Protein backbone atom coordinates (compact mmCIF):
# COMPACT_ATOMS: atom_id res chain seq x y z
CA UNK A 1 0.00 0.00 0.00
CA UNK A 2 1.45 3.35 -1.03
CA UNK A 3 1.68 6.14 1.49
CA UNK A 4 -0.44 9.24 1.08
CA UNK A 5 2.34 11.57 0.03
CA UNK A 6 1.74 14.92 -1.67
CA UNK A 7 1.72 14.51 -5.45
CA UNK A 8 4.87 16.57 -5.84
CA UNK A 9 6.63 14.14 -3.49
CA UNK A 10 8.86 17.03 -2.50
CA UNK A 11 10.49 17.03 0.89
CA UNK A 12 9.35 20.00 2.93
CA UNK A 13 12.03 22.18 4.45
CA UNK A 14 10.64 23.03 7.86
CA UNK A 15 12.77 24.51 10.64
CA UNK A 16 12.82 22.18 13.61
CA UNK A 17 13.30 24.77 16.29
CA UNK A 18 15.00 24.20 19.60
CA UNK A 19 12.95 21.34 21.04
CA UNK A 20 14.74 18.20 22.16
CA UNK A 21 11.84 15.84 21.46
CA UNK A 22 8.90 15.80 19.08
CA UNK A 23 5.73 13.71 19.32
CA UNK A 24 4.64 11.61 16.38
CA UNK A 25 1.96 14.12 15.31
CA UNK A 26 4.53 16.91 15.20
CA UNK A 27 6.92 14.73 13.22
CA UNK A 28 4.12 13.84 10.83
CA UNK A 29 3.45 17.55 10.19
CA UNK A 30 7.15 18.41 9.88
CA UNK A 31 7.93 15.60 7.44
CA UNK A 32 4.64 15.43 5.56
CA UNK A 33 4.47 11.70 6.34
CA UNK A 34 1.37 10.11 7.88
CA UNK A 35 1.92 8.69 11.36
CA UNK A 36 1.18 5.15 10.15
CA UNK A 37 4.11 5.47 7.70
CA UNK A 38 6.37 6.59 10.55
CA UNK A 39 5.33 3.55 12.61
CA UNK A 40 5.78 1.23 9.62
CA UNK A 41 9.25 2.56 8.87
CA UNK A 42 10.14 2.13 12.53
CA UNK A 43 9.27 -1.57 12.19
CA UNK A 44 11.25 -1.90 8.94
CA UNK A 45 14.42 0.02 9.76
CA UNK A 46 16.18 -1.22 12.91
CA UNK A 47 18.20 2.00 13.21
CA UNK A 48 15.03 4.08 13.52
CA UNK A 49 14.00 3.57 17.15
CA UNK A 50 12.46 6.68 18.69
CA UNK A 51 12.45 6.82 22.46
CA UNK A 52 9.22 6.52 24.43
CA UNK A 53 8.16 8.95 27.12
CA UNK A 54 6.54 8.01 30.43
CA UNK A 55 3.17 7.78 28.71
CA UNK A 56 4.71 5.27 26.24
CA UNK A 57 4.34 7.77 23.38
CA UNK A 58 7.02 7.89 20.72
CA UNK A 59 9.29 10.91 20.96
CA UNK A 60 11.65 11.73 18.13
CA UNK A 61 14.89 13.71 18.19
CA UNK A 62 16.11 16.07 15.48
CA UNK A 63 18.44 13.32 14.30
CA UNK A 64 15.47 10.93 13.99
CA UNK A 65 13.62 13.53 11.92
CA UNK A 66 16.64 14.09 9.67
CA UNK A 67 16.85 10.31 9.17
CA UNK A 68 13.16 10.17 8.30
CA UNK A 69 13.60 12.96 5.76
CA UNK A 70 16.53 11.09 4.19
CA UNK A 71 14.44 7.92 3.95
CA UNK A 72 11.55 9.92 2.49
CA UNK A 73 13.81 11.50 -0.12
CA UNK A 74 15.29 8.15 -1.10
CA UNK A 75 11.89 6.42 -1.19
CA UNK A 76 9.72 8.99 -2.93
CA UNK A 77 12.14 11.16 -4.91
CA UNK A 78 14.79 8.60 -5.86
CA UNK A 79 12.40 5.65 -6.15
CA UNK A 80 14.05 3.18 -3.77
CA UNK A 81 12.02 0.20 -2.58
CA UNK A 82 11.99 -0.64 1.13
CA UNK A 83 14.39 -3.54 0.44
CA UNK A 84 16.61 -1.26 -1.64
CA UNK A 85 16.58 1.36 1.09
CA UNK A 86 17.63 -1.18 3.70
CA UNK A 87 20.47 -2.42 1.52
CA UNK A 88 21.63 1.08 0.62
CA UNK A 89 21.36 2.30 4.21
CA UNK A 90 23.36 -0.65 5.54
CA UNK A 91 26.03 -0.03 2.90
CA UNK A 92 26.17 3.68 3.72
CA UNK A 93 26.26 3.05 7.45
CA UNK A 94 28.99 0.46 7.03
CA UNK A 95 31.17 2.84 5.06
CA UNK A 96 30.51 5.62 7.56
CA UNK A 97 31.53 3.36 10.44
CA UNK A 98 34.84 2.59 8.76
CA UNK A 99 35.59 6.22 7.95
CA UNK A 100 34.89 9.00 10.46
CA UNK A 101 33.36 12.21 9.17
CA UNK A 102 35.46 15.28 8.45
CA UNK A 103 34.04 16.99 11.55
CA UNK A 104 35.04 14.02 13.71
CA UNK A 105 38.55 13.99 12.28
CA UNK A 106 38.84 17.74 12.95
CA UNK A 107 37.78 17.29 16.58
CA UNK A 108 40.24 14.43 17.04
CA UNK A 109 43.04 16.53 15.57
CA UNK A 110 42.23 19.48 17.87
CA UNK A 111 42.17 17.22 20.93
CA UNK A 112 45.51 15.70 19.93
CA UNK A 113 47.03 19.18 19.56
CA UNK A 114 45.69 20.28 22.93
CA UNK A 115 47.02 17.13 24.60
CA UNK A 116 50.41 17.65 22.99
CA UNK A 117 50.50 21.23 24.29
CA UNK A 118 49.52 20.05 27.79
CA UNK A 119 52.26 17.44 27.77
CA UNK A 120 54.79 20.05 26.73
CA UNK A 121 53.73 22.36 29.57
CA UNK A 122 53.99 19.49 32.06
CA UNK A 123 57.42 18.47 30.77
CA UNK A 124 58.66 22.08 30.98
CA UNK A 125 57.65 22.23 34.66
CA UNK A 126 59.53 19.07 35.64
Q: Which domains does the chain have, with CATH numbers?
A: 1-79 (1.10.1660.10)
Give tens-digit pLDDT for 66-124.
Answer: 999 999 999 999 999 999 988 887 776 544 445 667 778 888 889 889 988 988 888 88
Residue 1's pLDDT band (cuts 50, 70, 90): very low
Give tens-digit pLDDT for 24-57.
Answer: 999 999 999 999 999 999 999 988 889 988 988 9
Give helix then strand counts, H and E, for the chain. Answer: 5, 3
What pLDDT sits at residue 99? 60
What pLDDT sits at residue 10? 44
| CA distance between the termini of the chain | 72
Q: How far apart are CA 111 and CA 69, in angstroms?
A: 33
Amino acid sequence: MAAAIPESGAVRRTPLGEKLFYKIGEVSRLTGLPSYVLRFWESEFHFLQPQKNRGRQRVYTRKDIETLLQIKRMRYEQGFTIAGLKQRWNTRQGSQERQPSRATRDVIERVKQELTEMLKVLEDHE
